[in-house]
Structure formats: C-alpha cells, structure tokens
A and B are shown apart, each in its own frame.
Chain A
Amino acid sequence: MKIIVPVKRVIDYNVKPRVKPDGSGVDLANVKMSMNPFDEIAIEEALRLREKGVATEVIAVSVGPDKAQETLRTALAMGADRAILVVAEDVEPLAVAKILAKVMDEEQPGLVILGKQAIDDDSNQTGQMLAALTGRPQGTFANTVNVSGDSVHVAREVDGGLQTLSLKMPAIITTDLRLNEPRYASLPNIMKAKSKPLAQKTPADYGVDVSPRLKTLKVVEPPVRSAGIKVADVDALVAKLKEMGVAA
C-alpha cells in the first residue's frame, strides 16, 4: 500500500516569532523556516511502516509556496519515494484538506499520516477535515500505530491517558509528539533526494477553490506580564505565599 504524508513549511520552532508593528501578521522575512516538527514524525512513521514491509511507497505532499520544495526535499532525503507540491500561498486547513482529498482519489493510499497541528497557525484541523471529506476514519494524536490486515490500531493520546481504536483502512492518522523520534537525513541521502521525482501542481489542477473563509483583521503581541520580583530565600517565599492566601 501507499502512504501519503502531507508536510508543511513553517517558521523554525527555535525562532521566536516577531509580530509586525502594523499588526498585519508575523514577520517571516529572512526567518529560518523548517518542516513542521509533527510532520517529521509523520514521515518517520511512514518510513518505519515501509521498512516493516507494510507500505510499498511513501509520497510526501505539500501545499504551499514555491519554497516548500525545500521541505519536500527534506522529506525525500529522510527517505520518502516521491513528492508532490501544490503551489499556493496562505491556504487554510479546509482548502488543504480538499486538495489532499483529491490527491487521495488519484493515489489510493492505505494511510494518510499528518502532523496533529502546524506550529504556525496552531489549528489542529487538517487531518480531521480530510477524514470528514473522504468519509474515512481518523486516528488523531497517535502515540502508537499498528497495521493488522485491513485495519490499523491506533493508540491515541487523550486527556487523562491513552485510548486505542481500530480503524478500517484507508484511514487518516495524525501524529503526536511521542509517536517516534524522527531520523536525520544523511549527506548521501540529501544528495540522492535531489534526483527523486517532485511533481508540481496547482489547486486549479484539482479543481479546488482556495479562497479564504477567515479574514485576519489584526495580529498583536500577547499582553506582557509585568516584571516580577526575586526573593532571597525560602522564608521570604513562604511569607509571600501566606500573603497571597495560598499557604495557611
């Protein structure tokens, strides 16, 4: 079976985002960009399933600007077999899910593995939306994935612990942090990735309207906390706690 892994190019997670003074958004000019960390975990899981002989091909897909090619090359260097780039800027999760649904129609994968959320818009929607649009089951926030026959068992991280579901394939899975430890791309593999196939498409090729439904009116810095104090020792801390009524 094939596995499709959607990946997103986002601001690197180590970079502290700066809000533009005019409130129009976050300043992404000359900022280091990387693959969304949850998507790296998704690629890793797909590769492990291929190494186990469960999957035959891993296809990385990105909906994003031209530069998302770099992100797809990273996925190819990690070990994905081929890539598809759908060139479009600032596409909302609903439109991404619609494009991915069309890619699923074309490729007929057994699994689609996505990250649970992108660290830029923090939406946590695309996987669930894709599952709804295709009428397929969803295993969100996956901690463990086991394919058995024509179904997949997914242990999910839920409030309070873990929950295990059995999903009929094809199924949609979104990764949580603890699913695996993604591998690094080695230099020879980075070189090899340059010659792997990368197809370029547009939303129009799939007949998907990507016009946004949400309009961002403004983006501001979060309220700044007023400067605190440092206490010298435990006695001073205890006194403060008593003052606040936290301790008797």
Chain B
Amino acid sequence: MKTLVYAEHDNASLKDATLAVVTAASQLGEVHVLVAGSGCGAVAQQAAKIAGVTTVHVADDAAYAQQLAENVAPLIASLMATHDAFLAPATSNGKNIAPRVAALLDVMQISDILSVESADTFTRPIYAGNAIATVQSSDAKKVITVRGTAFAKADENGGSATIEAVSGSGDSGTSTFLSAEIAKQERPELTSAKIIVSGGRALKDAETFAATILPLADKLGAGVGASRAAVDAGFVPNDYQVGQTGKIVAPEVYVAVGISGAIQHLAGMKDSKVIIAINKDEDAPIFQVADIGLVGDLFTVVPELVGKL
C-alpha cells in the first residue's frame, strides 16, 4: 500500500505534527510525503530526512503559499491516482483540506484516528471522546486525519528519501488570502509541549491569569493552555483553548488550575500522562481524572508553589 502524508509546515520549517502522521502511515505501507507550498525547498529537505519516508513530492508554486484548500485539494486528488491512502494531521490545516480531498475522490473520510487496526480498520473518538468507535472503510482509497497525540513521532533523522517535483492545476481563482494574525507565544507550542499549565474561569481576568499562570509555566518550562470559559471571557487568545473544540493535547504533565473539568475540556486533555488539578471545589469533576489533586484557593496555592519550585 502506498500512502501520501500531508506535510504541515509554514514554508520555512516542517511542523512536528507531520512526524506522528508518518508513524501512522508507516503502519499502512510505503510512506510518501507531499510538501505543498511556495519556496518550501528547505521543508522538503527536512521531510526527506524523516526515518521511514521513501519519496517526498514537492509542489512549489505561489498558488500553494497559504495552502488554501481550493488549490491544494485538487493537487492531492490527482496524486491519489498512484497512492492508496492520504493521511493528514488533524490540525486546523489538515481538517480544512482532507475532507475536500475525500469528496473529490468520492470517499468518506475517517477523522482523527487514534490507532490503525488493519489496512481498512481504525479507531476514532466520538461524542467528545466519551466513546471510542472502531470503523471499517469499504472505500478503495482511504482519506484519514490523524490525532497527533495518539502516535509516537517518527525519527526526524535517519531517512534519505528522494525528492521529486510535482505540479497541480495551481490557483482555482475562487479564494484569496488577505491577512493573518498570529498570536505570539514565547513558550512551547501547546500540541508538542511536554508540560502544560492550563487556567480556567477562576482566574478572574486577563491580568490575573497572566500574573498567576505564567510564572508557574515558566518555572516548569511549560506551555500555557486555557479552558473554553477562560477563552470566552477574554483572558487569553482562542488558540490557547484546550478541549473538544480547541486543541487536543497529551503532554507528560497537565496542570489544571481553576478548571472544573467539563466534558468539553476533558475531551482535549484526558490522554495526558499525569494530570494535576488545583481547585478549591473538592467536588469538581476534574478530580475524577486527576492523578494528583490539591484542594485549595489557587491564589494562595499557586504563588506558594512557584516559590517552592
């Protein structure tokens, strides 16, 4: 079976999300990677070094600079003539493009897989992670998005894939990129952070959130996350949100501060290796999933913790 993996990148460097997808793809067969972008030669070099990748297809065209689904999906669909499965990370980019590819191929997509059971059978979470379904696809070609935290990352070194240039139909002319506002994060990126400190509504406001959560995160070298309540209240930008509708994370240690533990939030973090909860309500649902719980007022506990670390 020949698989095609969609490389997540920003035209300058390959994103970690791609490595987990390579691992999933290697469980199906021969791994090819598609790098679609503009001036993305360095990304292709990086992709070629990933252990297990045999071929890197590079589509270098101004039309792919922003990886707009309207332009990239037909390119992928045409490459699928010689591949049996298309796998993309379940990132906002992957989720945007993959279903469009699936419909062009007239196949059902299998979203957010957690494991590969066989060439046509996969497991995936449904109902916000409250159930795990095993699904079997009867489609000739498989289109799959992969939950990054469910697969180990492939080794970034050790591969020596051949790089081939490919081209597609270019600009569809139906969509145009206007601008991007990227939130500045000096801390580790959420989806790849080993430790995450996350805050909830109990943090009161943006200033209190920053003053309480950030020192603890810095002490631990952790990424910073937030619950939906904290995001909706405007404490932090929405790309901090951990949950069913935000980011799905599975760090080594997840510290939930002032987070009650709603289903929607748990869906995004309950695969973390160790969960630590600090909350003054001892009946908060977060304590049912926490490995270590501390009942106490976060405004006294957290500064004390920062002081003692």
Contact = CB atoms under 8 A, between A and B. Distances in A.
Given A122-B125, A159-B92, A164-B180, A92 B108 contact: yes
A108 interface: no
Contact of B95 (A97, A120, A124, A235): A124
Given A161-B237, A217-B135, A93 B95 contact: no
A238 B126 CA distance: 36
Nearest to A229: B292
A194 to B, nearest CB: 31
Nearest to B125: A122
A54 interface: no
B156 interface: no
A192 to B, nearest CB: 31
Nearest to B73: A132
Interface in A196-248: 212-222, 225, 228-231, 233-238, 240-241, 244, 246-248
A135 B247 CA distance: 29
Contacts of B70: 131, 137-138
Given A159-B93, A161-B237, A237-B276, A16 B100 contact: no
A234 B308 contact: yes
Interface residues of B, number: 90
A196 B19 CA distance: 52
A219 B131 contact: yes
A140 B97 CA distance: 10
A119 interface: yes
Contacts of B125: 122, 222
A178 interface: yes
B253 A246 contact: yes
Given A17-B127, A141-B92, A93 B99 contact: yes
B96 A237 contact: no
A56 interface: no
B132 interface: yes
A189 interface: no
A125 B127 CA distance: 15
Contacts of B191: 159
Contact of A222 (B129, B173, B264, B291): B129
A168 interface: yes
Interface in B251-288: 252-253, 263-264, 270, 274-276, 282, 287
Interface string B133-163: 1111111000000000000000000000000
A133 interface: yes
Given A125-B99, A165-B176, A237-B292, 14 more contacts: A93-B99, A119-B244, A124-B95, A125-B111, A129-B99, A131-B70, A165-B175, A214-B137, A216-B133, A220-B132, A230-B293, A230-B294, A235-B308, A236-B294
Interface of B: 66, 68-70, 73, 91-93, 95-104, 106-112, 121, 125-139, 172-183, 185, 191, 195, 219-220, 228, 231-232, 237-239, 244-245, 247, 252-253, 263-264, 270, 274-276, 282, 287, 289-296, 301, 304-305, 308-309
9 contacts: A132-B73, A132-B103, A140-B96, A164-B178, A215-B138, A219-B134, A228-B292, A231-B293, A238-B305
